[in-house]
């Protein structure tokens, strides 16, 4: 079953599906435990069997990561991603893809209270590639450029166009924040591989 952006189930013709009394959610099924911390809420409800609860809390991942910092993001939030990128609802995968860029930034810079994404991009565009006022978190940088980029690459090949676009935007923007020398190995292989796949399809298969 698909959801529209408001989390309403859609029928086969992409109109709002008629209510199914046999599948009606009880009020208590949608109740959120307000006694949980922000991190514990996200951890619990992104794994909910109810798509709407998963959607709401997937959209909170970046905010939560920024709040709890790099260490908790790496240890607690990142292990949630392998399951979420395979979520059966495309709208959830789409919003997850949009969360992955800020998640990378938290891993790379989350412990730097002075990190300003706009100022960082300006310094990069001014060809100040050293960005000496900002310090990467070594572990977080490695995880962002290997593990999270791997998840982004999976979503770039998603069957749903909106998911692919959100993931492609995340990867392209990430190139503005990683070390310039890592762009060829971290960012470029994906678009090059996609172009090659298109060429192979047009020619009837790989040579």
Q: How far apart are CA 7 and CA 15, in angstroms?
A: 13
pLDDT at 22 over 50: no
Instruction: Identify the residue with better confidence: 135 or 60.
Output: 60
Neighbour-count burial for 162-184, b at 16+ CB within 10 Å, e otherwise: ebbbbbbebbeebeebbeeeeee
pLDDT classification of 32: cutoffs 50, 70, 90 = confident
pLDDT at 51: 95
Q: How far apart are CA 183 and CA 165, in angstroms?
A: 20
Cβ–Cβ < 8 Å for 171, 102: no
Sign of CA dihedral 183, 178, 180, 176: positive
* Residue range 100-136, pLDDT digits in tens: 999 999 999 988 888 888 888 888 776 655 545 788 9
Nearest of 161, 172, 140 to residue 93 by alpha carbon: 161
Sign of CA dihedral 113, 116, 119, 121: positive
- The interaxial angle of helices 161-174 and 90-109, nearest 10 deg, is 10
Average pLDDT over residues 4-28: 52
Give the Cβ contact number of residue 32 at 10 Å. 13
Alpha helix ranges (H) inside 35-182: 38-45, 51-58, 61-68, 70-72, 81-84, 90-109, 117-125, 138-143, 149-156, 161-174
Q: How far apart are CA 174 and CA 14, in angstroms?
A: 33
Residue with tokens 């046999």: 22
pTM summary value:
0.78
Mean pLDDT check: name the lowest of 18-27, 106-115, 126-135, 149-158: 18-27
Phi-psi region of 127 (alpha: psi -120 to 50; beta: other; left: phi over 0): left
Alpha-carbon Rg for the chain in angstroms: 19
């Amino acid at each position: 079953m698909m959801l529209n952006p408001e989390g309403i189930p859609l029928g086969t013709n992409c109109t709002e599906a008629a209510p199914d009394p046999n599948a009606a959610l009880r009020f208590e099924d949608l109740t959120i435990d307000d006694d949980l911390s922000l991190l514990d809420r996200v951890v619990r409800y992104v794994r909910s069997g109810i798509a709407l609860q998963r959607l709401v809390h997937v959209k909170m991942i970046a905010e939560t990561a920024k709040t709890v910092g790099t260490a908790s993001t790496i240890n607690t939030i990142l292990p949630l991603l392998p399951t979420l990128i395979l979520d059966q609802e495309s709208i959830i995968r789409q919003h997850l893809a949009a969360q992955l860029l800020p998640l990378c930034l938290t891993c790379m810079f989350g412990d730097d209270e002075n990190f300003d994404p706009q100022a960082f991009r300006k310094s990069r565009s001014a060809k100040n590639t050293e960005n000496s006022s900002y310090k990467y978190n070594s572990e977080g940088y490695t995880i962002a450029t290997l593990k999270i980029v791997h998840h982004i690459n999976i979503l770039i090949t998603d069957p749903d166009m909106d998911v692919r676009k959100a993931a492609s935007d995340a990867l392209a923007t990430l190139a503005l924040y990683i070390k310039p020398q890592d762009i060829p190995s971290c960012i470029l292989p994906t678009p090059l591989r996609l172009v090659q796949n298109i060429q192979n399809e047009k020619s009837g298969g790989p040579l």
